[in-house]
Chains A and B, each alone.
Chain A
């Protein structure tokens, strides 16, 4: 949920003006906000599942240290969504396990 009114910080001025795709579903996001913020605002709780026990994980530290919030972003696995800013058109996928790096083709 976005906090639109706040007693100290006032009205939320930024608008979710761009679209990103999350596991095939389109959601709106504020450009420049962390991917994790956009997902939580859209009500998405599970960001990845662990390799062995397939347990759900989400944001834990929110400052890029713990790597619990890693997802696949535009085909790149292990992206820390709490410190990676949203850009229009990003494709984000829930990560299962450790993720695989595709060979780069240019």
Chain B
């Protein structure tokens, strides 16, 4: 059986950052990803990132991805692409399928950085071609450079909904409206303003009632909501669209963490069931760590910091960093994470995360 010191599942922002941190301390790292290319969702992020300079502020997502990849290569990390991790067993054997063949990899430590999946929203007609995830449309327009329609309605005004709506405009589509069930816009004002300046209305207290069409979406029916989220009859309006994009949140991709026996807690602010972890990002199963969206839905910026934290902690646990060296490095990362979560949007996440990690520290 092949062996390694640290196996990382998922080569997105968290996995790549962890790989760089651990490998630069001397850890032998194997990074496994099911996709044809590494980078996770970074390469479809064509907008500039927020935060301070340390968070790659005002650098575009794909440029961050390129930087991380070149660093991973420089550090001599072994990267297995097109490789699906289908199981995790005992003390840290991963079952991996590549090219229709199965192999096993034994690791002293495992970092799960599997990311998230978009939530769906069920309404009559939601299975019609043309109804898709906002992340799906982002992949199609920004990576594949294919626009699968002309007129879109975006459901959800969180940052994903706002950013992808703007990217649809950049791709040459028309965005009829952004629809938000809550009475307030969910995402940053900067993103909302950019849309409004381009004449895209953001309809709050509104939702999609139905998608109409035969072989694909032809119309979207919107309806207003009262304070109790009930549809107000008589307020329906129809729009001719061929794309309905769903930006209604993400859920952690937690199958491997469940399989490994990690304990979970249900925390809505973090996207649902999240593995309990300590300040080193270690789960309740010794030797298994989590980082990024799996450890609670946030952003690429925080995923990278959590990845670093896990990478440092694992290097320390394997004896490549002294406790003193690790402490200094971890403190620097924690400071950056705290400052990122300080804003009004980070408050709920910060509280939820603290609750989760308190439980992790007790275990």
Of the listed stretches A2-10, A17-25, A95-103, name the one at the interface; the rest are far from the partner chain: A2-10
CB-CB contacts of B16-54 with A at 8 A, as 1s and 0s? 000000000000000000111000010000100000000
B336 interfacial contact with A, CB 8 Å: no
B interface size (C-beta, 8 A): 34
A62–B136 CB distance below 8 A: yes
Q: A2-B145, A34-B144, A55-B127 given as contacts; is B136 within 8 A of A46 (CB)?
A: no
A3–B128 CB distance below 8 A: no
A62–B135 CB distance below 8 A: yes
Collect the chain A residues with CB atoms within 8 Å of residue B131's CB. 60
Collect the chain B residues with CB atoms within 8 Å of residue A57's CB. 127, 129
A59 interfacial contact with B, CB 8 Å: yes
A49 to B135, CA, bound (A): 23
Which of A3, A47, A61, A85 has most B Cβ within 10 Å? Answer: A3
A71 to B128, CA, bound (A): 16
Residue of A nearest to B167 (CB): A8
A90 interfacial contact with B, CB 8 Å: no
A8 to B63, CA, bound (A): 12
A residues 44-100 near B (Cβ < 8 Å) are 45-47, 55-65, 68, 82-83, 85
Residue of A nearest to B35 (CB): A83
B170–A6 CB distance below 8 A: yes
A8–B46 CB distance below 8 A: yes
B215 interfacial contact with A, CB 8 Å: yes
- Among B60, B129, B130, B140, contact of A62 (Cβ-Cβ < 8 Å): B140
Collect the chain B residues with CB atoms within 8 Å of residue A56's CB. 128-129, 215-216
A45–B136 CB distance below 8 A: no
Q: A3-B172, A33-B144 given as contacts; is B46 within 8 A of A59 (CB)?
A: no
A63–B170 CB distance below 8 A: no
B145 to chain A, nearest CB (A): 5
B132–A1 CB distance below 8 A: no
Residue of B nearest to A4 (CB): B145
B residues 189-230 near A (Cβ < 8 Å) are 215-216
A40–B215 CB distance below 8 A: no
A1–B36 CB distance below 8 A: no
B147 interfacial contact with A, CB 8 Å: yes
A interface size (C-beta, 8 A): 32
A56 to B216, CA, bound (A): 8
A61–B140 CB distance below 8 A: no
- Among B36, B127, B146, B171, contact of A37 (Cβ-Cβ < 8 Å): B146
B146–A46 CB distance below 8 A: no
B210 to chain A, nearest CB (A): 15
A45–B139 CB distance below 8 A: no
A45–B129 CB distance below 8 A: yes
Collect the chain B residues with CB atoms within 8 Å of residue A40's CB. 140, 146, 148
B133 interfacial contact with A, CB 8 Å: yes
- Among B46, B135, B147, contact of A61 (Cβ-Cβ < 8 Å): B135
A3 to B172, CA, bound (A): 8
B residues 131-186 near A (Cβ < 8 Å) are 131-133, 135-137, 139-142, 144-148, 170-172
B170–A62 CB distance below 8 A: no
B118 interfacial contact with A, CB 8 Å: yes
Q: A1-B146, A58-B130, A85-B36 given as contacts; is B171 within 8 A of A6 (CB)?
A: yes
A1 to B142, CA, bound (A): 13
A1–B135 CB distance below 8 A: no
A55 to B129, CA, bound (A): 10
Collect the chain B residues with CB atoms within 8 Å of residue A6's CB. 145, 170-171
- Among B137, B170, B215, contact of A46 (Cβ-Cβ < 8 Å): B215
A19 to B343, CA, bound (A): 51
Q: A40-B146, A59-B136 given as contacts; is B141 within 8 A of A3 (CB)?
A: yes
B215–A9 CB distance below 8 A: no
B170–A8 CB distance below 8 A: yes
5 of the cross-chain contacts (CB-CB < 8 Å) are A12-B145, A37-B144, A59-B129, A59-B148, A65-B117
> Which residues of A approach B to under 8 Å, CB–CB?
1-4, 6-9, 12, 33-34, 37, 40-41, 45-47, 55-65, 68, 82-83, 85
- Nearest first, the 4 A-B pairs at minimum CB distance are A58-B129, A62-B136, A37-B144, A40-B148
Known: A9-B142, A56-B129, A61-B117. 4 other contacts (CB 8 A): A6-B170, A37-B140, A45-B148, A82-B136
